[in-house]
Structure 1
């Protein structure tokens, strides 16, 4: 970092060369360069000459500079993305058994040296000299009046603002890759489970990944005979996973019979009980490894010295306190008690902790998962059929035949090794990849429901990459916004299957919306508290971390969920796999549900297809600026809460809480 005297000397020389009219830009640009210029980058005379040579003062030349960087970086970053996708293919896509070398290739971070190279070639300094960075408060305030060019300039220089050594980035990638692999192989063979009487409760061949598959099986059991017993067994499995009491040998292994209630393991070949080791806190060792990898970046980012700062001020661009307030607003809504009473009445029993996943918000009887599986099998027996019929599916959602065909051509469909995800293209005309898990017998409803979620992601990714005016603006403000579109598509899964609900469906959908927002808001609040705790206790081992996570989960439960469901002391919020391998991602899910409701409200009497395309063209501007341009109002949980109260009134239920 240069001295104040050096700053004054360079600014003086540049003002003399370019004129006093450009002094403000010169001072900002020189400051940004000096903050990142190191001894190895060159001497003071070299720095002075660089600034005098590469400062651009006239708007047409600045436009040309932006366009040159946009064109070249789109090629570089787009092709890096293709390499990343290829190297991680065996980890992400179920294309057969993985080999040891696949893990090594997945650890190879092709992006790790990009910033180093941009600084060593001084390209990064050219951007810093000519385009000012902006604080979050400025983007949320003055950003509302910025032209698209100003946003593009800001996003472009932000891309290279952090100078983190490649070796540190490589270590972080290796940590995330290892934990991701651990999570993606955390499968429970349900047909090997036994109840207290030694009976099997699940069909042959059913294998569920934690937490996604376990959670979705709980949801499906509400309309099945004997569903409550299976839900209680799955909840016990979740408790064993959270506490790490789960026998290590039953993870991914269907050859041993496991009794979750007693935690006994029996060899079915001779009926003898065997002694197996527990999880040894590996779950929390994985979480700790992610924390330590992220912490290594802290010293290189003084303006954002923790992952917490980076997630909120840089990635989400919503202040941490504002997000927490949104979450608590949802969790404290009095209407939740009335929704819980409705659920209690419909179930005819006291609520249990796993009822945070109740999903049968509809008139009449629910649809058994076996019937949904049958319909999915008939329409989309495999991923090839889903890809082939994607155009017709999109037409059902309101897209024109031409637009549906275009989207179909830009979205590839792959079998997921994990639960499912979407990976957008890295440059214009690069296809997005939709991934969902498909059992050996073909596509089932769980896989289809996930595919609909990922379809929402990929449609957004295609639009916001290929129909944007500046490459640096591709995408949406943060991942919560792409989650919002994913939820909107996912909520239309029955409609696509020809099972559109009748009578009061909007009211039921609203109640479903606030209930699932409540659930994920609790997880998100836990996620935030876990990371705060880890920063306060950086030397804590996995056992201590586990105890802290369980305690925090119970505290959040007793504060917000126990008054609603009527049962205390549950750590079930800690089951989410994202808490372990995603580095505080879950607040984006909660924000996504809130945003999705605001978009859905705006879409009433409007076309999803037309409005989604318009919204995606807004690109990666500040979240609140995007919201006001997209739906005419700021991000807020209150519309969802108010709508839930009205929905209960429409369904002749009391609203407003006790």
Structure 2
């Protein structure tokens, strides 16, 4: 996954990092207490003062508008387009009034700012837009680089961590910048001169806008919120705490036992929740005896969600655990691994206690929720985290996204595809088969065989970096473009599963000061080389990094850097990831493999759409019950997950009452991120139809340089049609019919 778009410090407030392929990096001390953010107290007097001052300033807007127009008239600035300029003044003054607070000054200060800083001349306004583009490129880019440096010891495998590193990782040097931009009045100059356009207006008028119109809209939307430094710092602290908790949530699988105390997994296998656990289930489809191991992992996942997993077994290879009867015992010394220093910290002595984890998972989730609520006070356009995710991030309405997801999970095609899976497995389906991976060619290779290839090919992260030009050429980029991209992507050794950290600055202010910044691809390389899981994730993150290079260096204005939202950047990365075996020389696409790819895409989307609906349901519960305890949140989460499971999944894969849909770690640390993934699958399917055959690299580059317009407009420019699940469902229907008739 990519880290959040940091084109602005505000974007950090809206999008916490997390990705299906990117668990957080830092590992906590096992006894560390959860640190949910406390809601900052706001006094009645302070609120009353702000409301009173805002009301008085708003009431003055017509008077101030008249004063601005009077000045422009005396200067002769109204002659060219009086009605258009008048409309701009009215809108700008209203926007400033809406964001004004008591600490910004009284009515006189409000009027003085508007009269002084409104720019009527089109050329001068264009110059102002360009200046803001240059300033924010430098500001955002350098803040991103500082944050990347401060988190390096936590995120990268460059030796043992020190206790102070977690504090550096939690420290956000840009936390107060958004509020400082308002205090300095810079933000008000933006709001006075450029329109803060609601989504419905953007959708209605955006097709006729010029590129400069879009750049101006993007500039103004960065000030759609006015987050306090305290709110942003609370978010950073909650994010760091929950990420550290998840990063330390590993299971040593040699010590996770099958019934009868059998050890089914090799010594040294340490899997992080949920990423590696899920991926190990997928890998077992290529093994003749994988079913028993899949059942062990599934039962462990269910224990994690229900929080009846014994605390002592988390990330400790000195303890054996049977997840079926939930018993714990000390592991015999001869089978106990010795963790490397970078593999986290644990208690000095192991414990054989079966005492359950005390709802820490849900205390962490409540911590992220309470941090998010501090931002609610500063966000009148989108007053909840849910609203911000849809209105200010994905820029698709909540109801439409939910409708897209439900169209997939409720599709009758799921039952038909399930029958194909059952036939291929030769047994009734079980709950873990939502992660069935047998449609794709990788299922014909064992995990160990694939890892043998990747370990030999990539013994270090440097070896992967060295091979990137070849990989990029194989993905359809010219030799020259592959070299150009390779020169603009750094590769780092990750403590977590891997992620892509974008750049925010393509130039220095003056050429003599040096060049721009580049994205950083973080990849995990275990002792002995990069295993297949790490390779698969690295290819996905390489897709993010390539998109990040093009969408920064190729877009006409840095104010439009990026793609419409996280779902789009995930979709573009999926188009790389789906070709991972082809890049190893193990796959030759044909008509049947294309059908199987479609079925795999549908099955994966069906699974993750349910996960996203659980995430949505849980955040709705927290907003409806803001005083809920961790225990109450656990009960609600399990209820939401099992009800959705029983309605859509149990009829196909069994396991009535399973809470598996709530296992994703993103729910805990990522501030309502999961809906991006099924959207990403839906969008990726549309994009892949355009990214086939010769010219793939050039087409990928063209898409990435469209810039941050609205999702439907971007998709129409990229593929000719708006965002829709219909292409995926239609292709699945054809593929199912062909498979049901033996490929005829």
Following superposition, the deviation at residue 266 of structure 1 comes to: 1.2
Answer whether contact 1:29 1:130 (CA < 8 A) is retained.
Answer: yes
1:482 aligns with 2:569: yes
2:671 is paired with a residue of what secondary structure? coil
2:291 is matched with 228
Q: Residue 363 and residue 399 in structure 1: after superposition, are their counterparts in 2 closer, same or farther (change >3 A)?
A: closer
Following superposition, the deviation at residue 612 of structure 1 comes to: 0.9
Taking structure 1 as the reference length, the TM-score comes to: 0.97
Following superposition, the deviation at residue 94 of structure 1 comes to: 2.5
For the residues of structure 2 that align with 1:55 and 1:365, how far apart are their CA atoms?
63
1:410 is paired with a residue of what secondary structure? coil
1:10 is matched with 64
1:366 is matched with 444
2:328 is paired with a residue of what secondary structure? strand
Judge which range, 588-597 or 417-426, deviates more: 417-426
1:596 is matched with 684
For the residues of structure 2 that align with 1:270 and 1:47, how far apart are their CA atoms?
73
1:348-359 → structure 2 map (5 Å cutoff):
348-359=426-437
Following superposition, the deviation at residue 40 of structure 1 comes to: 2.5
2:610 is matched with 522
Q: Residue 472 and residue 230 in structure 1: after superposition, are their counterparts in 2 closer, same or farther (change >3 A)?
A: same
1:203 is paired with a residue of what secondary structure? coil
For the residues of structure 1 that align with 2:391 and 2:423, how far apart are their CA atoms?
43
Following superposition, the deviation at residue 191 of structure 1 comes to: 1.5
For the residues of structure 2 that align with 1:228 and 1:161, how far apart are their CA atoms?
51
1:426 is matched with 504
Judge which range, 626-635 or 162-171, deviates more: 162-171
2:500 is paired with a residue of what secondary structure? strand
Following superposition, the deviation at residue 312 of structure 1 comes to: 0.6
1:31 is matched with 94
Following superposition, the deviation at residue 90 of structure 1 comes to: 2.1
Q: Residue 290 and residue 654 in structure 1: after superposition, are their counterparts in 2 closer, same or farther (change >3 A)?
A: farther
For the residues of structure 2 that align with 1:270 and 1:214, how far apart are their CA atoms?
25
1:431 is paired with a residue of what secondary structure? coil
The number of aligned residues is: 655
Following superposition, the deviation at residue 39 of structure 1 comes to: 2.8
Answer whether contact 2:58 2:97 (CA < 8 A) is retained.
Answer: no
1:482 is paired with a residue of what secondary structure? helix
Following superposition, the deviation at residue 35 of structure 1 comes to: 1.2
2:530 is matched with 443
For the residues of structure 1 that align with 2:316 and 2:270, how far apart are their CA atoms?
10
For the residues of structure 2 that align with 1:162 and 1:362, how far apart are their CA atoms?
44
1:80 is matched with 143
For the residues of structure 2 that align with 1:363 and 1:34, how far apart are their CA atoms?
59
For the residues of structure 2 that align with 1:433 and 1:362, how far apart are their CA atoms?
29
Answer whether contact 1:351 1:567 (CA < 8 A) is retained.
Answer: no
Following superposition, the deviation at residue 101 of structure 1 comes to: 0.9
1:124 is paired with a residue of what secondary structure? helix
2:377 is paired with a residue of what secondary structure? helix
1:336 aligns with 2:336: no
Aligned counterpart for 1:267 among listed residues 311, 317, 330: 330
Aligned counterpart for 1:379 among listed residues 443, 450, 457: 457
Following superposition, the deviation at residue 454 of structure 1 comes to: 0.4
1:203-222 → structure 2 map (5 Å cutoff):
203-222=266-285
Q: Residue 128 and residue 195 in structure 1: after superposition, are their counterparts in 2 closer, same or farther (change >3 A)?
A: same
Answer whether contact 1:330 1:517 (CA < 8 A) is retained.
Answer: yes
Judge which range, 545-554 or 274-283, deviates more: 274-283
For the residues of structure 2 that align with 1:252 and 1:270, how far apart are their CA atoms?
17
Answer whether contact 2:225 2:380 (CA < 8 A) is retained.
Answer: no
Answer whether contact 1:362 1:501 (CA < 8 A) is retained.
Answer: no
1:627 aligns with 2:681: no
Following superposition, the deviation at residue 273 of structure 1 comes to: 9.4
For the residues of structure 2 that align with 1:351 and 1:438, how far apart are their CA atoms?
34
For the residues of structure 2 that align with 1:268 and 1:614, how far apart are their CA atoms?
56
Structure 1 segments unaligned to the other structure (5+ residues): none
1:338-383 Cα distance to aligned partner (Å, 9 max, x none) = 1100100110111001000001114797111111112212322221
1:165 is matched with 228
Judge which range, 260-269 or 126-135, deviates more: 260-269
Q: Residue 308 and residue 163 in structure 1: after superposition, are their counterparts in 2 closer, same or farther (change >3 A)?
A: same
1:121-150 Cα distance to aligned partner (Å, 9 max, x none) = 111111010001101111122112211100
Structure 2 segments unaligned to the other structure (5+ residues): 1-53, 73-77, 335-349, 507-515
1:190 aligns with 2:253: yes
Answer whether contact 1:413 1:435 (CA < 8 A) is retained.
Answer: yes
1:174 aligns with 2:262: no
Q: Residue 149 and residue 266 in structure 1: after superposition, are their counterparts in 2 closer, same or farther (change >3 A)?
A: same
Q: Residue 211 and residue 5 in structure 1: after superposition, are their counterparts in 2 closer, same or farther (change >3 A)?
A: closer
Following superposition, the deviation at residue 261 of structure 1 comes to: 1.5
Answer whether contact 2:319 2:331 (CA < 8 A) is retained.
Answer: yes
For the residues of structure 2 that align with 1:502 and 1:611, how far apart are their CA atoms?
20
Judge which range, 340-349 or 194-203, deviates more: 194-203
Q: Residue 179 and residue 364 in structure 1: after superposition, are their counterparts in 2 closer, same or farther (change >3 A)?
A: closer
Runs ≥4 in structure 1, deviation > 6 angstroms? 270-273
Please tell me the root mean square deviation across aligned C-alpha atoms, in Å.
1.7
For the residues of structure 2 that align with 1:654 and 1:556, how far apart are their CA atoms?
33
For the residues of structure 2 that align with 1:145 and 1:338, how far apart are their CA atoms?
44
2:620 is matched with 532
For the residues of structure 2 that align with 1:364 and 1:106, how far apart are their CA atoms?
37
Judge which range, 398-407 or 197-206, deviates more: 197-206
2:185 is matched with 122
1:415 is matched with 493
For the residues of structure 2 that align with 1:392 and 1:137, how far apart are their CA atoms?
44
1:243-288 Cα distance to aligned partner (Å, 9 max, x none) = 1111111111101111221211111348999324211110011101
Following superposition, the deviation at residue 566 of structure 1 comes to: 4.0
Q: Residue 233 and residue 364 in structure 1: after superposition, are their counterparts in 2 closer, same or farther (change >3 A)?
A: closer
Aligned counterpart for 1:322 among listed residues 371, 391, 400: 400
For the residues of structure 1 that align with 2:484 and 2:565, how far apart are their CA atoms?
25
1:280 aligns with 2:334: no
Following superposition, the deviation at residue 308 of structure 1 comes to: 0.7
For the residues of structure 1 that align with 2:417 and 2:406, how far apart are their CA atoms?
17
Q: Residue 337 and residue 102 in structure 1: after superposition, are their counterparts in 2 closer, same or farther (change >3 A)?
A: same
Aligned counterpart for 1:399 among listed residues 477, 483, 488: 477
Taking structure 2 as the reference length, the TM-score comes to: 0.86
Following superposition, the deviation at residue 520 of structure 1 comes to: 0.5
For the residues of structure 1 that align with 2:128 and 2:68, how far apart are their CA atoms?
19
For the residues of structure 1 that align with 2:263 and 2:734, how far apart are their CA atoms?
44
Following superposition, the deviation at residue 653 of structure 1 comes to: 4.1
1:638 aligns with 2:716: no
1:70-99 Cα distance to aligned partner (Å, 9 max, x none) = 111111111000011011112222323322
1:454 is paired with a residue of what secondary structure? helix
Q: Which has the higher contact order (CA 8 A, sep 6+)?
A: 2
2:271 is paired with a residue of what secondary structure? strand
1:420-447 Cα distance to aligned partner (Å, 9 max, x none) = 2111112113111111222212101000
For the residues of structure 2 that align with 1:365 and 1:170, how far apart are their CA atoms?
45
